Amino acid sequence: MSFRRLAAALNSIAAVSLSPPQSKPIFHRTIQSQLLNPNHSLFISQFSTSFLVTKTPKQFRKKRKKKDSPRTKSVQHDSHKIPHFESIVNQDAALRFIIRTKDYLSKQPEHILRLDDARKLYHELGFSRGRNILRFINAHPLLLETYRHQDEKMWFGFTDLMESLIQEEAEIMDAMEADRVNTVRKLLMISANKSIPLSKLYHRRSLFGIPEDFRDRVAKYPNYFRIKVEDDGKRILELVNWDPLLAVSAIEKEFMVDEDRVKSAFNFPIKRRKLLDLHKDDSKKLDLAISLPLVSPYSNGSKLDNWTVEAEKYRVGILHEFLSLTLEKKASIHHIIEFKEELSLNKNTYDMLLKQTRSFYLAGTEMNWVVFLRDAYDENGDLIHKDPQVLLNRKLYDYANVKDLKEAECGFENAATD
């Protein structure tokens, strides 16, 4: 009896093992299909893998270095930069809006402008195209203000404080008229043909502190200036007479005071000098010849051969004199290009100035650089001799950078104490 029961149990187990399975887990079916199909990848899964990180997160990716371009590449290497000169360039860029807006609004009736019209004048007012001009206006509440006119349009104009600064500037222009006349005379004396288009002087009037109505004031000085009208209607300002007392460059004046310093201010190296085997006295004479810009900017250096040492000395000397006539003893590439014909400059002006590191410092980028007269500034980056117009500009900058009048006045008191 027990034997029969054992045989029945074995038969039932064999029947279960030999019958085909009704269902298998998905995992087993997947493995079986992969084994039967040798071309099927073992790494393909029918489960979703969207939750897996398949790309390097942005914060961990290596940043590609942008290619240097003249628009972004600095003139000076980081190790050679002079911070206070670079900061002056950055400050001028930040305050471009308030300076251009001051000049433009000063010529408008009642010193006001409709906001809708101002949005189209991005170049004239000095703000970036497409930017909201209202943000620039609100950034200088001590100098600019907005209001709604009777026509229900928004307008903006000068505050009372700004109007007082404009009046103070007009008084300075009147008081400094004789000095500005001499500046223009010297500019004409160093120019190639002793003449400069009036439009150029007008466009760059702020560089030399020339008043807005200078073109009208010229008529008061017939012994100094003459206006010639060309066939195309262009008005040219010409020098009437030469004044030998004015024909003394800033370098020559400095030479009388500190001869040794001026001798070391410039350097025009001669190739293969060591091979000359010069005597000590001859070597000293050569040092003098290759250091000073011996060609006066008030001479007719425009006729010198372009690639001679004398011609380079003349161009260095004339740029030094040009910068010494500016209010802040600096000029941008745009200022220099404006007068390139009058100053007899060529395309190598940039490289020429880079070599004269003792007297000039170039700041900014290769496309928009500014050249400074180094000796006109102290070690803190302040002008040694400040024109009254420069002092007024500094006051304007201070008011533009603060939003509270008391804060600005405290700043002026601290500056006066220092």
Whether 299 shows a pLDDT value over 60: the answer reads yes
| Contacts for 111 with CB less than 8 Å, ≥ 6 apart | 105, 157, 158, 163, 166
Closest CA to 143 of 168, 118, 162, 169: 162
% of the chain at pLDDT higher than 90: 47
When the pLDDT of each residue in the chain is averaged and rounded to a whole number, the result is 82
Q: pLDDT category, 27, cuts 50, 70, 90?
A: very low
Range 145-171 average pLDDT: 92
pLDDT in tens, 365-389: 988 899 999 999 999 899 999 999 9
Whether 315 shows a pLDDT value over 60: the answer reads yes
Whether 94 shows a pLDDT value over 90: the answer reads no
Q: What is the pLDDT of residue 295?
A: 76
Lowest mean pLDDT among 175-179, 225-229, 233-237, 294-298: 294-298
% of the chain at pLDDT higher than 70: 76
Q: What is the pLDDT of residue 69?
A: 78
Residue with the bigger pLDDT between 64 and 332: it is 332
Whether 256 shows a pLDDT value over 90: the answer reads no
Q: What is the pLDDT of residue 149?
A: 80
Range 152-175 average pLDDT: 94
